[in-house]
Amino acid sequence: MHAYVKRVVQHGECTIDATTGNGHDTLFLANCVGPSGQVLGVDIQHAAIAATRARLLAHGVGSRVVLYPGDHGHLLPQWLSRSCPCPGSVAAILFNLGYLPGSDKQVVTHAKTTLPALEAACRLLRPGGVLSVTVYRGHRGGAEEYDEVVAFFGSLSSKQFEMTAYKGPTPAPTSPVAYIFRRRV
Ligand code: SAH
């Protein structure tokens, strides 16, 4: 996924990490966009925002990232309705669903908020841009979220999005699945 995203994102572009977690993907995006680019990072847990901020500062890229403590199911549709960032302008949007690694697993993503966030993400993406969604199925509620997310993906027009799914060499019913969507022009 990282290699794919890196090929697409140009220096100076805007990207979104919709679930910053411990900040690994946020740091990756900050490196992709370079000093003139921007990453918008969202997480509903303050512990995740704090872990992400610490990682970015340790790597000297904190000024490229704006962190939003909050619900991506609320924030992404709000950004879309305010045209900030502009619809059709974002180079890459990453979702890493499930729970914060190392946490007590009490806070997990849910379809009720994941779906509005994904809908907004599809409209924020620029032509040629990438939406990457890694879905975890092993935790409580994970399989239900997976089913709803997959149904949403099925509703996307193949004229507008090219989809690839990575299930790993020996997929189990509970193993994660990574989806990559490339918005066609
Ligand atoms: N399971 C993955 C990591 C997922 S991290 C792995 O093993 O690598 C998922 C992150 O999503 C967590 O940090 C959690 O706090 C965050 N999250 C959960 N619901 C959210 C929401 N509605 N809006 C934004 N972030 C959310």
Extract the residue ranges of the chain whose pLDDT is less than 70: none
Residue 39: what residue type? V
Q: What is the pLDDT of residue 131?
A: 98
Q: What is the pLDDT of residue 162?
A: 97
Q: What is the pLDDT of residue 121?
A: 98
Q: What is the pLDDT of residue 124?
A: 98
48 CA: nearest ligand 1 atom: 13
108 CA distance to ligand 1 middle (Å): 6
172 CA distance to ligand 1 middle (Å): 22
Interacting residues of 15 by C-beta distance below 8 A, sequence separation 6+: 9, 29, 32, 33, 37, 38, 39, 40, 90, 91, 92, 93, 94
In this structure, the residues whose C-beta lies within 6 A of any atom of ligand 1 are 19, 21, 42-45, 48, 71-73, 96, 98-101, 107, 109, 113, 136
Q: What is the pLDDT of residue 87?
A: 96
In order of start, what are the domains of the chain with their CATH numbers? 2-183 (3.40.50.150)
* Closest C-alpha to ligand 1, atom 23: 71
pLDDT tens sequence across 25-72: 999 999 999 999 999 999 999 999 999 999 999 999 999 999 999 999
